[in-house]
Amino acid sequence: MGQDGFRAGEIDTSKPHPARVYDYLLGGKDNYAVDREAGEALAAAAPEARIGVRANRAFLQRAVRHVVAAGVRQILDIGTGLPTPPNVHDTARTIAPDVRVAYVDNDPIVSAHADALLGHSGATGVALADLRDPQAVLDHPEVRRVIDFDRPVALLLVAVLHFLTDAEDPGGIVATLRDALPDGSYLVLTHATDDFADRSAARAVYSKATATLNLRSRPEIERFFTGFDLIEPGLSQVPFWHPDTPPPPGSDEIGFYGGVGRKG
């Protein structure tokens, strides 16, 4: 039994899991045949999928550097996915070595790998919990050990909310998390969209996975930032948010919006 109380038999390898498909598209090795098959099908359905996940990852690194440079020293990363260097704490600590990071994911494989690679040091923690129950995330002992909610926190919801259906109330989930954060905190968010191309084939791939793909428009995604002031340039396709290198070819079709907002 693992640190969070799950058994190896509880790990479902019969269906693709979004975190493992993402890992495959990034070129990682922590995935199964079913995830690789889904990743290939996704790349066939959306040829820019691979550059899209890399652009999303690059956005995450730029956003983390931005919020740490702004003074935040605590990061709550929900839906962290499989550890792929450079991880959030690696990126954050290039700016400030004292940054504390709590990683949260609902996949036992992600939790096991993260625990093995990152451990439970004083400044880094790994929690097995589900975004669909935000209060349980906030109350998780490992999250509470690492994060002091009386001080500003950067909340990362990167490429995760599009795996929640409207019936699961992603807006209410984000609001619960927002209300737990003090003024001076930040929300870093990316979300898949079909604003730039038809993505029905991509949705079909995830219909056979452990979570469906629920694409949303720019106005729908902007509503997740209620209670936050969006930092310029606002909600943008991820390659165009404060780029530090020229955006890759095909960026105009990348189906990820990204943004950073500040509370208070």
Instruction: Note whether residue 4 is domain-resident.
Output: no
Query: Can you give the three-state secondary structure of the chain, one letter per residue?
Result: CCCCCCCHHHCCCCCCCHHHHHHHHCCCCCCCHHHHHHHHHHHHHCCCHHHHHHHHHHHHHHHHHHHHHCCCCEEEEECCCCCCCCCHHHHHHCCCCCCEEEEEECCHHHHHHHHHHHCCCCCEEEEECCCCCHHHHHHCHHHHHHCCCCCCCEEEEECCHHHCCHHHCHHHHHHHHHHCCCCCCEEEEEEECCCCCCCHHHHHHHCCCCCCCCCCCHHHHHHHHCCCEECCCCCEEHHHCCCCCCCCCCHHHCCEEEEEEECC
Instruction: Note whether residue 94 is domain-resident.
Output: yes
Instruction: Note whether residue 3 is domain-resident.
Output: no
Instruction: Note whether residue 231 is domain-resident.
Output: yes
Instruction: Note whether residue 5 is domain-resident.
Output: no
Instruction: Note whether residue 2 is domain-resident.
Output: no
Q: State how many domains the chain has.
A: 1
156 vs 83 pLDDT, higher one: 156
Average pLDDT over residues 160-170: 97
pTM over 0.75: yes
Instruction: Note whether residue 85 is domain-resident.
Output: yes
Average pLDDT over residues 224-234: 98
Q: Count CB neighbours of 190 within 10 A.
A: 27
- What's the pLDDT tens digit per position in 20-71? 888 888 888 888 899 999 999 988 888 888 889 999 999 999 999 999 999 9
pLDDT score, position 119: 58
Nearest to 68 by CA among 87, 101, 96, 103: 96
Containing domain of residue 53, as a range?
A: 11-244+252-262
Where residue 200 sits, what CATH number does that domain have? 3.40.50.150
- What's the pLDDT tens digit per position in 248-260? 888 898 999 999 9
Q: Count CB neighbours of 219 within 10 A.
A: 9
The set of residues, in sequence order, having a beta carbon less than 8 Å from that of 11 and lying 6+ positions away, is 107, 108, 109
Instruction: Note whether residue 101 is domain-resident.
Output: yes
Of the pLDDT bands very low, low, confident and very high (cuts 50, 70, 90), residue 120 is low
pLDDT score, position 5: 39
- What's the pLDDT tens digit per position in 93-102? 999 999 999 9
